[in-house]
Structure formats: C-alpha cells, structure tokens
Chain A
C-alpha cells in the first residue's frame, strides 16, 4: 500500500514546467493508484475518477507554481484532496435536498439492512473524516490512502514532520473513537474483523 518514498525526478519536473507533457505524464503514472484511493476516500467511488481527473488538470495548469522543495506527489495530492472534498460536500447537499423534497430521511449509514457491513464502515469513515479539522483529515488520508511519507505530507501541508506525526495520530484516534461510539467493531492486531 505504501508508495515507495523517492525523491522527485527533478529533471522530469523541470521538463514538465517547460511544457513537456510527456514528462508530466511520466511523473503522474506511478501516482495514479494512490491518487485514486485518496479521491475515492473523500468523494466515494462515484466521484473519485472525476476528482482525480480534475486534480490532474489543475496540476498541469499549475505546474509552474510547483516549488523546488515540494515533492510532486504532495503537489498533486493536495489538488485531489481539495477537489474530492468539495465535490463530496456538494453531492451531500444535493442528496439532502432531494431527500427533503421527497419527504424522506437522509440516508443513514448505520442501518444494517441498507448495505453490507464493509460499505457501512467505509461510509462511516468518510463521514467521520469530514468532521476532523481539515489539516488533520488531509494528513490521515495522505498517509493511509496516499502512502505519502511524513516528509512529503509536511511539505504539502506546510508543517514539520513532527507535527504531521501528531496530526495523523490524533486523527486516527478521533476516528476510532467516533466509529466505536457508533457501534462499529474495529479490527484488532492479529486479524479479527
């Protein structure tokens, strides 16, 4: 799951900044699986591809603003997280309006008869993530779904590596507390589910 930590290819970045689309594509290719995972965590499967595409478009349009000290992955993932989170909020508001018009209750993720348990857990994680302070949420998603290193996340979020470790730890702790309070049984080390 964890992407190999590697120093950005400075030559490819320089070529991409000069307008070389092939160089940009070469930088993007190894990131796509984790980019999709990050987008789907926040926007869901239905919105993940759109969010990833929009993030890639923005990354190309803004590549000239990529600072030397910022890893390319952190640059792209920053767009993906913002796009996915904003799209997801719009989608939730649209759904809530539709439910209201139809006189129905908003979808509840914890109804056992609604979807499979794994899907419930996935939705609950997504909703719990949305309640975290944004920086904490971004750090958790970049680490767990994106596989970024502390150093890369720190560059992306403008923090120190120590702060990132704290943000991720606190974020996971808060998520665990929220999910347990909703009755979810989290897997433990050793493998029970």
Chain B
C-alpha cells in the first residue's frame, strides 16, 4: 500500500482522521427552505433552452504582455492540463463574439457586486476583447500584474465562463 493512502484506525493516520472529524463537525447543512430554493432555481433555469455558444482550448501565454510575475504565478498555480508549461485557458469563439460578450458582461456584473464597478482591475481587460472574434481566435490576458491572485482570478473567470474543458 502506498504510504500516503489512508487506512482507517491506523495510529499513523491520527491527524488525518482528526482533520476529517473536524471538517465533518463544521459542515454547513442547508435547511429545507434553502434546498427548496435551489430546486426552484434548477427548474427555472432548465425550463429554458441552454445557452450554448462557447468552448475552450489552450494557448501559449503571451508572456511579454503578462510579464514575469505572471509567469511565476502560472508555474506555481497550475489551473489545468498543460498550463504548467505552456498556457492558460482561452476563449475559442463560435460562431461570433456575441455569446462571449454576454458571458463577460455577466462576470463583470458579478465582480461589480463585490468589488465595486470602479475597481474591476484586470477584469476590465476581459470587456475589451474583440467582440468580432471568430472561431479559433486567441484571447490573451492583455494586462500586466504583479499580483498572482489577480491573475489567477482572471484564469478562474475564464474557467467559469468557458466551463468544462
């Protein structure tokens, strides 16, 4: 057995058993009203045809634009297959940039709720993507940052927008 795998009741696993117990003791369970709201949301959303306009691919990160700090952030915070070495998730638009624009607006709205519209930071660059982008076009970060968390958020935003890899 691999030394890192878990054997219940093994004294060597006291810490991981204790941590499991601590997590289970601090779990937040939804009340019935919350579950009902989530179910209503599910029914409302799925009553409409799904929006289907985007998929995602991979590209080489334009390091010259993103800067050395970005390179550090990407190599230390891999976010998907291939990212460690070559790239970040990007939009591959089909058939036009319109759906992407809609999704971007949604992300910006969410950010405005929590960050303040005047302080969207790198997310402003998302809004500046060419709405006439065609299928297969690359989308680059287009901003400089020394804040790895901001960069990671940009990447996360793309994962959220473009979803399943």
Residues of A that sit less than 8 Å from B by CB: 1, 16, 19, 21-22, 24-25, 28-29, 32-33, 35-37, 40-41, 45, 48-49, 52-53, 56-58, 60-66, 75, 78-79, 82-83, 85-87, 89-91, 93-94, 97, 118, 121-122, 125, 134, 140, 144-145, 158, 162, 165-166, 168-170, 172-173, 175-177, 179-180, 184, 186-189, 193
Contact = CB atoms under 8 A, between A and B. Distances in A.
A155 B45 CA distance: 26
Contact of B160 (A16, A37, A58): A58
Contact of B26 (A1, A60, A125, A188): A125
A10 B23 CA distance: 32
Q: Is the interface of B mostly helix, strand, loop or mixed?
A: helix
Interface in B103-117: 110-111, 114-116
B85 interface: no
Given A82-B156, A87-B114, A121-B26, A169 B35 contact: no
Contacts of B119: 97
B5 A25 contact: no
A32 B29 contact: no
A32 B28 contact: no
Interface stretch (B9-17, B64-72, B90-98, B130-138): B9-17
Interface string B1-42: 010111001000111111111111111111000110111011
B146 interface: no
